[in-house]
Amino acid sequence: MTSLRIFFIGGLTSYRALFNWLTPWILVPSFLVAPLFQILLFAYIGRTTRLESDEFYVIGNAIQYAAIPCLFAMGNTIGGERFQHTLPLVLATPAGRLPLFIGRSLPVIVNGFLVAAFALVAGGALLGVHVPLSAVAPLVLVVLITSFSCTGLGLVNAALGLRVRETAVLSNILFGILLVFCGVNVPLSSLPDWMSTISEGLPLTHGIAAARRLADGAGLGSVAGLIGAELLIGCIYAIAGYLLLRLMEVESRRRGTLEIA
């Protein structure tokens, strides 16, 4: 019962604290305006190079933008607490670490989902991309699972935040890696083999591929493998992130570097 309380109430409180500084003045330009311009930028480069259709860039960039809230918000669970000088207080509690950290990731998944969904709808409307009505529900599922897998990577990012002082820089670098490697704007077949091999182990790759197929009219069953792979990758990152958090926490306590990284 205590764990459930920490999971839900702790997660919600942490998220509300995040939104205390994440005001609409930050939220609107960062989560609503920026993804639309990223979509437009690459859609227009795509029109210049005649590489792929507008639909390809709308889906790729909209879903990839879920990485911004997922990476930054998770990074801030550590970086933000340290900035507010509450990190030692949080980690000094006897609360179970699993509900403590996983609870904080639940609202982040919802946030990532909403950002990607808005970008998909608004980006699609701006560029005149039409998705079959039958694909909407499966797309919601894919975007949700992709947000989960990105949050898994975000958990790893949060753990590294116990060693790296600049979590925002780290989040930006991870975002850039996902942009280049995951077939967001360049089909995996056009990337060097070693890059497409790496992309198989990253969040987003399978989710974006599944979303593109669904938008082209494929049924949910035909992309089940891709969705399953995305879910599995998300679970692996979430577990790795949790274990890394525990390890880094112990290390930070031993070195006395909780507040200084």
Under rule CB under 8 A, residue 84 binds other proteins: no
Nearest to 155 by CA among 88, 246, 22, 93: 246
* Tokens read off for 80: 């933000």
| 114 vs 236 by CB, closer to other proteins | 114
Rounded to whole angstroms, how far apart are CA atoms 123 and 54? 10
CB atoms within 10 A of CB 2: 10
Q: Is 50 left (phi over 0), alpha (psi -120 to 50) or beta?
A: left
Q: Is 82 within 8 Å of 261 (Cβ atoms)?
A: yes
- Residues from 185 through 214 that contact other proteins (CB under 8 A): 185-186, 190-191
Nearest to 238 by CA among 115, 94, 104: 104
Site string for other proteins, 17-56 (x = CB under 8 A): ------x-xx--xx--xx--xx-xxx-xxxxxxxx-----
3-state secondary structure of 215: helix
# residues near other proteins by CB under 8 A? 35
Site string for other proteins, 114-143 (x = CB under 8 A): ------------------------------
Smallest gap from residue 235 Cβ to other proteins (A): 27
Smallest gap from residue 52 Cβ to other proteins (A): 9
| 41 vs 137 by CB, closer to other proteins | 41
Under rule CB under 8 A, residue 173 binds other proteins: yes
Smallest gap from residue 211 Cβ to other proteins (A): 19
Under rule CB under 8 A, residue 4 binds other proteins: no
| 105 vs 185 by CB, closer to other proteins | 185
Site string for other proteins, 210-249 (x = CB under 8 A): ----------------------------------------
| 32 vs 236 by CB, closer to other proteins | 32
Q: How many CA atoms lie within 13 A of 44 on its CB side?
A: 7
Return the exposure string of 55-88: e unless at least 16 CB atoms fall within 10 Å of the residue's CB, then b. Answer: bbbbbbbbbbbbbbbbbbbbbbbbbbbbeeeebe
Q: What share of the chain is helix, strand, coil (3-state, %, to 5)?
A: 80, 0, 20
Return the exposure string of 175-190: e unless at least 16 CB atoms fall within 10 Å of the residue's CB, then b. Answer: beebbebbbbbbebee
* Segment near other proteins (CB under 8 A); pick from 83-91, 137-145, 166-174, 240-248: 166-174
| 129 vs 182 by CB, closer to other proteins | 182
Which residues form the interface with other proteins (CB under 8 A)? Answer: 23, 25-26, 29-30, 33-34, 37-38, 40-42, 44-51, 165-166, 169, 172-173, 175-177, 179-180, 184-186, 190-191
